[in-house]
């Protein structure tokens, strides 16, 4: 089968630099996707180096590199620690997680990630999962739907939208994207319609894939498996993710409440390498418009 690179990684050079790769080190790519980050990491590794990559999507299998230093784990990165143990790895020198949804997913109508073309209300990263966007729209209570739309989409009309969804499904279950769009259109002004639609789809995608919970599990485990002076590199694409990462790096928890020792030093397992978040240059955004919302944070383990 022909290899298809279907994702242009944002901030690729900055991410690789952030890992501070040692030729004989052990590294993890939590989100293999099109393989852009993994291939670049392998270029920096020597013969004794090792890369372990995770992805739960079967579509990525066509892109796997044939390299004895490379190990692929077809699973969610929330199981990071367990799979490292399975592959007889106790500690790693760096972890990279690009939390963006690949172009491939947005451009494939059958995956249901985008409102720009009709298809099934799916949005699963893992096709074996039982929970789809349709499941949420058809089974969640009005209050649950409103919470999802407000928390993950930051939509101020979340309660009205949820009420309308519940009323609609009483006569006709949601199965397609166009069905959902017909319900949503009356709520949004034309000039902001695309942005607000994107927020709805973001909220549903996050809930379908439990993205916030999975990210929290990754951050907690990363601190446990990274070697002293090892690196954590995370690319986020919306404020909810970025806030979790920023708080965890700064304070060792997700609320961002720092605890201090007797001398006033913050007690946290990680230390920010870049105190100011890294964002794409104007040139990169011009070449790759989808990188516009990317934010990169790099941390080093204090221990």
What pLDDT is recorded for position 153? 95
16-69 residue pLDDT tens: 999 999 999 999 999 999 999 999 999 999 999 999 999 998 889 999 999 999
Confidence of residue 106 (pLDDT cuts 50, 70, 90): very low
Count Cβ atoms below 10 Å from residue 3 Cβ, excluding itself: 12
Burial 61-87 (b: 16+ CB within 10 A, else e): eebbeeeebbbbbeebbbbbbebbeee
Domains and CATH numbers, the chain: 12-103+211-301 (3.40.50.150), 114-209 (1.10.150.170)
Identify the DSSP state of 120. Answer: B
Across the beta sheet with 70-73, the strand order is 70-73, 50-54, 26-29, 92-98, 226-236, 295-301, 270-272
Percent of the chain with pLDDT over 90: 79
Q: Are 97 and 15 in contact (CB under 8 A)?
A: no
Q: Is the pLDDT of residue 1 over 80?
A: no
CA max distance for the chain: 64
Q: Which residues pair with 95 in a beta bridge?
A: 28, 232
pTM of the complete model: 0.90
Confidence of residue 110 (pLDDT cuts 50, 70, 90): low
70's tokens:
């490379």
Write out the H or E segment, with its range, that includes residue 106. helix 103-107
How far apart, in whole angstroms, are the C-alpha atoms of residue 76 and residue 273?
27
């Amino acid at each position: 089968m022909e290899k298809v690179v279907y994702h242009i990684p944002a901030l690729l050079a900055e991410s690789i630099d952030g890992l501070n790769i040692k030729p004989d080190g052990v590294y993890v790519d939590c989100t293999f996707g099109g393989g852009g980050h993994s291939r670049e990491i392998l270029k920096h590794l020597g013969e004794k180096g090792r890369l372990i990559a995770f992805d739960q999507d079967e579509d990525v299998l066509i892109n796997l590199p044939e390299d004895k230093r490379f190990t692929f784990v077809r699973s969610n990165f929330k199981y990071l620690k367990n799979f490292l143990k399975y592959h007889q790895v106790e500690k790693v020198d760096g972890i990279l997680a690009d939390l963006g949804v690949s172009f491939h997913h947005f451009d494939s109508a059958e995956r249901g990630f985008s409102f720009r073309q009709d298809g099934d209300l799916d949005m699963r990263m893992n096709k074996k999962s039982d929970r789809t966007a349709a499941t949420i729209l058809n089974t969640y209570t009005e209050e649950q739907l409103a919470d999802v739309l407000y928390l993950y989409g930051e939509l101020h009309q979340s309660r009205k939208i949820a009420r309308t969804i519940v009323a609609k499904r009483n006569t006709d279950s949601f199965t397609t994207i166009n069905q959902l769009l017909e319900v949503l259109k009356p709520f949004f002004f034309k000039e902001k319609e695309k942005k607000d639609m994107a927020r709805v789809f973001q909220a549903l995608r996050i809930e379908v894939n439990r993205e916030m919970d999975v990210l929290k599990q990754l951050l907690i485990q990363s601190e446990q498996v990274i070697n002293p002076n090892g690196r954590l590199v995370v690319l986020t694409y919306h404020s909810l993710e970025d806030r979790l990462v920023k708080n965890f790096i700064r304070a060792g928890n997700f609320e961002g409440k720092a605890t201090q020792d007797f001398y006033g030093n913050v007690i946290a397992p990680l230390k920010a390498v870049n105190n100011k978040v890294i964002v794409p240059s104007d040139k990169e955004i011009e070449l790759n418009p989808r990188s516009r919302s990317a934010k990169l944070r790099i941390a080093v383990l204090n221990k």
